[in-house]
Chains A and B, each alone.
Chain A
Amino acid sequence: MNKITKNKRWLSFLIWVLIIAFIISAPSILPVFRLNLLGRYLSLAIVALGVDLIWGYTGLLSLGQGIFFALGGYCSAMYLQLNSSQDFPNNIPEFFGLYGVTKLPFFWEPFKSPIFTLIAIWLIPALISAFLGFLVFRNRIKGVYFSILTQAALLVFFNFFNGQQKLINGTNGLKTDVTQLFGQMVGSDSMQRLFFWLTAIIVIMAWFFSRWIVRERFGNVLIGIRDDEPRVRFMGYNPTYFKTIVFGIAGALAGISGALYTVQSGIVSPQFMTVPFSIEMVIWVAVGGRGTLLGAILGAVIINYAKSLVSEALPASWMFIQGGLFIFVVTTLPEGFLGWIQSDGPRNIMVRLGLRRPLSTYPSLEADGKEEVKP
């Protein structure tokens, strides 16, 4: 392995040590309120990983990941509501009473099972996204048209969920913080600590999973599709299947993310499917670094944490800062912060300032000349 790769490895290793040290120490140094915020933002990192897979690697700019995020959230909330509805009339969740509903709608029934719920949280969003994706990809719709379609789908889901009071409490959403899990209130401090740990572990697992997806040839096919799809076809690959699979995976990650976010924020509502929220997911990845995975995690957590800190100090200023940050990254660091560091951005600045000599050849060749090929 050459020097550059070694440096990059060393860098991601360092970042991981910092992340893990932070996660381990967070519960003892942060008050529960802050810990809960951190947990929520960590769960957003999971949906960001999915956006990085489909956008950063495969070039599919989806503006509709909020659909799958919300579906995961609804799945978890439905289970929690059912799990805590013994004291309400007809043994069904309380809100049904407001609309005169006395019988549980049929699609709620399977959510009485915790095992079904745990599978549904990722499988339902995965199947829906893969199905929608397949229809779009099969017809070779790409680029801007794909983005517009995903945003249109988001609006359809948003309006549908908003209007269904009798099925899922419509615009009010489903509350989870006053529900019971393992005999405890979901909103209680001890449960929130538990969810923080759970989220932290799942973020790391999601990273390993995504890394495994893109590590070898599969990831290279995705990059090939992003950069030159017809060329990939002429080599004998069918991009439709590759895109469908990766879009389904991103949907599953969004669902898991939405479920963890819901239990930590105490409610799921159609607000998860608003247009700005899905666009923000793209911004986290763009700022952190497309096609880096780690950049998606850092982008999601740091931007959201900054958002809550800034909003506390200077209310209403955050939108300006976020917009400015996005413009700054797009114009000066098109690869995002992590991408910039990995492509020797800091070194280039040092060279410009006259602090270092420019390289006269490709760094990897200068490092060790002819080398053994390692696949």
Chain B
Amino acid sequence: MNIPLLELSQITVSFDGLYALNNLDLKLNTGELRAVIGPNGAGKTTFLDVITGKIKPTSGKVIFKGRSITGKKEHKIARLGIGRKFQSPRVFNNLTVYENLALAISNPKSPWPILIGKQSNVQRDQIIHLMNIINLQSMANLKAGSLSHGQKQWLEISMLVGQNPDLLLVDEPVAGLTDEETDLTADLLKSLSGDHTILVIDHDMEFIRKLESPVSVLHQGKVLCEGSMDSIQNNPQVIEVYLGKPEEVNE
């Protein structure tokens, strides 16, 4: 446990002189569930883009499992064990629920085995198991495009789980979900931590509170502070930049 699973050191990303991330440092231990919050434009999504290889940092290093992954291509990073769920649900609308999960689960992912190889029974059972968890088994052969917003969010989370990454990056998983669905999602993520390391980004304070996890606050491309939700909410700096008056949040 001495070596963190993921370590970002001195990450800077600048777009034409504007800093999206500014000397950002962050460590994540194996099995940890961590929430990241921050006002709009704090660099939350850029931060995920750097970890997953979509954006190359201007300077700084990303170290995953003790190896530098800075500047590697997206699919290589994904194969090393980093999975990502996007802000708005990005499932393949023209594929069925089953096919979506099958693509996530398939391994290896190079063209030849995909063309020649058959899906194993283990994978098939795993897909059915995942569909049972998200309660979509009756819609297995329905196009993902005809699912509701909440069902798509869950399908994407289950695709992420099916990919079986060591590190799950979850970007706003409860956007547009009902309260009940939000609770279920929080429970799901909590049950996944331990086996997986999870990093959740969200605006929704109630949801973050339910995760009962350490929180990092991002502001102007830097980690402003870290701690439990309660200590964060009472931190005067955080209140100033993000939360506004505490009364508003506790409503």
Residue positions of A touching B, CB distance < 8 A: 2, 5, 213, 216-218, 220-221, 223-224, 227-228, 230-239, 241-242, 245, 362, 364-365, 369-371, 373-375
Q: List 27 A-B contacts (CB under 8 A).
A: A217-B99, A217-B103, A217-B119, A218-B111, A220-B92, A220-B99, A221-B114, A224-B92, A227-B92, A227-B93, A230-B54, A230-B74, A233-B73, A233-B74, A234-B78, A235-B104, A235-B159, A238-B75, A362-B142, A362-B146, A369-B138, A370-B138, A371-B141, A373-B127, A373-B128, A373-B137, A373-B141
- Main secondary structure on chain A at its contact with chain B? helix
Which residues from chain A contact B1 at a C-beta distance below 8 Å?
A: none
Which residues from chain B contact A220 at a C-beta distance below 8 Å?
A: 92, 95, 99, 102-103
Residues 99-116 (chain B) with a chain A CB within 8 angstroms: 99, 102-104, 106, 109-111, 114-115
- Main secondary structure on chain B at its contact with chain A? helix
Residue of A nearest to B145 (CB): A227
Q: Report the bound CA distance from A227 to B137 in whole Å.
A: 24
Q: Report the bound CA distance from A228 to B104 in whole Å.
A: 14
B contact residues, range: 35 or more
Q: A224-B95, A227-B92 are in contact. Are A238 and B142 (CB under 8 A)?
A: no
Q: Report the bound CA distance from A307 to B33 in whole Å.
A: 65
Chain B 169-205 interface 0/1 with A at a Cβ cutoff of 8 Å (1 = within): 0000000000000000000000000000000000000
Can you list the 3 inter-chain pairs with the closest CB atoms, starting with the nearest?
Answer: A236-B78, A233-B74, A218-B115
Contact across chains for A223 and B114 when beta carbons are under 8 A apart: no
Q: Report the bound CA distance from A148 to B94 in whole Å.
A: 27
Q: Report the bound CA distance from A213 to B137 in whole Å.
A: 27
A-B contact number at CB 8 A: 99
Residue of B nearest to A374 (CB): B141
Any A CB within 8 A of the CB of B98:
yes
Which residues from chain A contact B95 at a C-beta distance below 8 Å?
A: 220, 223-224
Which residues from chain B contact A224 at a C-beta distance below 8 Å?
A: 92, 95, 103
Which residues from chain A contact B245 at a C-beta distance below 8 Å?
A: none
Q: Report the bound CA distance from A227 to B84 in whole Å.
A: 18
Chain A proximity of B47: nearest CB distance (Å): 15
Q: Report the bound CA distance from A230 to B54 in whole Å.
A: 9
Contact across chains for A235 and B78 when beta carbons are under 8 A apart: yes
Residue of B nearest to A242 (CB): B111
Contact across chains for B141 and A2 when beta carbons are under 8 A apart: yes
Which residues from chain B contact A239 at a C-beta distance below 8 Å?
A: 75
Q: Report the bound CA distance from A224 to B111 in whole Å.
A: 14
Which residues from chain A contact B19 at a C-beta distance below 8 Å?
A: none
Contact across chains for B102 and A375 when beta carbons are under 8 A apart: yes
Q: A223-B95, A227-B92, A241-B111 are in contact. Are A217 and B106 (CB under 8 A)?
A: yes
Partner of A223, one of B79, B94, B124: B94
Partner of A234, one of B74, B106, B124: B74
Contact across chains for A365 and B138 when beta carbons are under 8 A apart: yes
Partner of A213, one of B94, B115, B139, B141: B115
Partner of A365, one of B79, B98, B127, B142: B142
Q: Report the bound CA distance from A239 to B114 in whole Å.
A: 13
Q: Report the bound CA distance from A84 to B93 in whole Å.
A: 55
Contact across chains for A375 and B119 when beta carbons are under 8 A apart: yes
Q: A224-B95, A231-B86, A362-B146 are in contact. Are A237 and B75 (CB under 8 A)?
A: yes
Contact across chains for A233 and B75 when beta carbons are under 8 A apart: yes
Q: Report the bound CA distance from A364 to B119 in whole Å.
A: 24
Q: Report the bound CA distance from A245 to B115 in whole Å.
A: 11
Contact across chains for A236 and B75 when beta carbons are under 8 A apart: yes
Contact across chains for A371 and B138 when beta carbons are under 8 A apart: yes
Residue of A nearest to B140 (CB): A373
Any A CB within 8 A of the CB of B90:
yes
Which residues from chain A contact B124 at a C-beta distance below 8 Å?
A: 375
Chain B proximity of A89: nearest CB distance (Å): 50
